[in-house]
């Protein structure tokens, strides 16, 4: 049988969306006649990114609880009831063979309803510290694919399979010849290129740091590819120059990674997995404003084995210049970090997750 029906649910950030798309792409290779439906949260970025990837998506009226008392929180029970009803209607109409959840609030109602109707469900947890939605769903699903060791702290051990996080397929085959990439970004060959990534929406503190350090970078002869995020683009485009390329969002990440000699990044799970495959030296500056401080935990799991550098936001003033200068000046140090991070890569994650989905189909 080839005409299976799959629902993939998750979103809110690129870290939940891109793994879902990668899993769908791998399923499509194996089952060209299968039907796919994504279920996300209305008004979040999945409503734009999933159709761009060629898949249908429906939105639930759901959002997370705010940490402070707000009108949004008072609406939360109504959003949950509305989302459960919509999820039930989707399951009845689409009749999926398997439902996959990649985290984020939309996957909660969807997998709860599907599991309640006896439909096999699989969770994919990207982080080293499990998200609240996935923790709540753990007892209802049949398989949980993870990227880190020690996830028995959150999930039933017998359901866990360590697969790694799926990444965009164009990253798995990044070449060593950077000349095409350097030409694409209109930069000069033979000079250090630093790639700055603040996540899909941008990172205020990283942008402030880069703007502040532009004289330092200039004195070191460094060129920048700077993804500042769409929320900050209007503020930082003024720094664009021959040596500084500023983007709201980089569509050709394969070329950006290929061009870069050093990468400065947030430590979301998707970024950590991609950068492990890329195998370049990375300075992680985790966001302190995420649930359970999971980005710091993600970055620390690499820093403790000398596979990356971790600088907390609160330590940037004191540590950045020293750490960065050492990285630029020592080729051996860059190579050591690059080699160590590449050892942690799991480039076959999408393939391994789909193997688990196939077991559920049987």
How distant, in Å, are the alpha carbons of 2, 6, 98, 128, 140 from that of 361? 11, 10, 7, 28, 17
The answer to whether 258 and 250 have CB atoms below 8 angstroms apart is no
Q: Which residue in 355, 276, 251, 278 sits closest to 26, CA to CA?
A: 355
pTM of the model: 0.83
Q: Residue 12: is it exposed, middle or buried by C-beta count within 10 angstroms (0-12/13-18/19+)?
A: buried
Full strand arrangement of the beta sheet holding 309-310: 244-247, 223-227, 193-197, 262-265, 282-284, 309-310
66 assigned binding-site residue: no
12 assigned binding-site residue: no
Taking only the tens place, the pLDDT of each residue in 2-30 is: 789 999 998 777 778 889 999 999 999 99
102 assigned binding-site residue: no
14 assigned binding-site residue: yes
| Token pair of 251 as six digits | 């569509």
168 assigned binding-site residue: yes
Longest CA–CA span in the chain (Å) reads: 63
10 assigned binding-site residue: no
The pLDDT of residue 173: 64
Taking only the tens place, the pLDDT of each residue in 98-123 is: 999 998 878 888 999 999 999 999 99
CA 339, distance to chain mean position in Å, is 22
* DSSP category for residue 289: T
The pLDDT of residue 1: 66
The pLDDT of residue 12: 74
Q: Which residue in 19, 12, 354 sits closest to 169, CA to CA?
A: 19
Fold category of 5-167+347-361 in CATH: Rossmann fold (3.40.50)
Domain with CATH 3.40.50.2000 in the chain: 5-167+347-361, 170-343
Question: Residue ranges of the alpha helices (H) in the chain?
Answer: 14-30, 46-52, 71-94, 107-116, 132-137, 179-184, 204-219, 233-236, 253-259, 269-278, 294-303, 316-329, 331-343, 349-361
**CA–CA distance, 313 with 352 (Å, rounded to integer):** 35
The pLDDT of residue 237: 96
The pLDDT of residue 5: 97
23 assigned binding-site residue: no
**CA–CA distance, 43 with 249 (Å, rounded to integer):** 19
Low-confidence ranges of the chain (pLDDT < 70): 1, 62-77, 172-176, 200-201
175 assigned binding-site residue: no
CATH class of the structural domain 170-343: alpha beta
| Token pair of 69 as six digits | 């008392």
Q: Which residue in 253, 256, 315, 259 sits closest to 284, CA to CA?
A: 315
């Amino acid at each position: 049988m080839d005409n299976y029906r799959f629902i993939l649910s998750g979103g809110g950030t690129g870290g939940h969306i891109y793994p879902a798309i990668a899993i769908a792409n791998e399923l499509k290779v194996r089952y060209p006649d299968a039907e796919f439906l994504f279920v996300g949260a209305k008004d979040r970025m999945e409503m734009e990114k999933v159709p761009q990837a060629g898949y249908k998506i429906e939105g639930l009226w759901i959002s997370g609880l705010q940490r402070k008392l707000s009108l949004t929180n008072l609406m939360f029970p109504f959003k949950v009831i509305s989302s459960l009803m919509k999820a039930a209607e989707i399951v009845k109409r689409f009749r999926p063979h398997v439902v996959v959840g990649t985290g984020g609030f939309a996957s909660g109602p969807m997998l709860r309803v599907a599991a309640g109707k006896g439909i096999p469900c699989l969770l994919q947890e990207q982080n080293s510290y499990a998200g609240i939605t996935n923790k709540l769903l753990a007892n209802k699903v049949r398989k949980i694919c993870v990227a880190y060791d020690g996830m028995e702290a959150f999930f039933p051990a017998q359901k866990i399979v360590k697969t790694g996080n799926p990444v965009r397929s164009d990253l798995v085959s990044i070449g060593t010849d950077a000349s095409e990439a350097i030409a694409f970004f209109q930069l000069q060959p033979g000079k250090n290129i630093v790639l700055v990534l603040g996540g899909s929406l941008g990172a205020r503190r990283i942008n402030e740091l880069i703007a502040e350090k532009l004289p330092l970078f200039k004195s070191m002869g460094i060129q920048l590819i700077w993804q500042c995020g769409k929320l900050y683009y209007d503020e930082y485009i003024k720094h664009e120059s021959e040596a500084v390329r500023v983007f709201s969002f980089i569509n050709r990440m394969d070329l950006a990674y290929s061009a870069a000699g050093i990468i400065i990044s947030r430590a979301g799970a998707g970024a950590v997995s991609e950068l492990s495959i890329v195998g370049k030296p990375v300075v992680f500056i985790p966001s302190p404003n995420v649930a359970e401080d999971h980005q710091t935990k993600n970055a620390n799991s690499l820093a403790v084995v000398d596979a990356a550098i971790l600088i907390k936001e609160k330590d940037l003033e004191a540590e950045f210049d020293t750490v960065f200068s050492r990285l630029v000046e020592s080729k051996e140090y860059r190579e050591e970090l690059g080699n160590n991070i590449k050892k942690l890569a799991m480039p076959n994650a999408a393939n391994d997750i789909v193997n688990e989905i196939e077991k559920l189909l049987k």
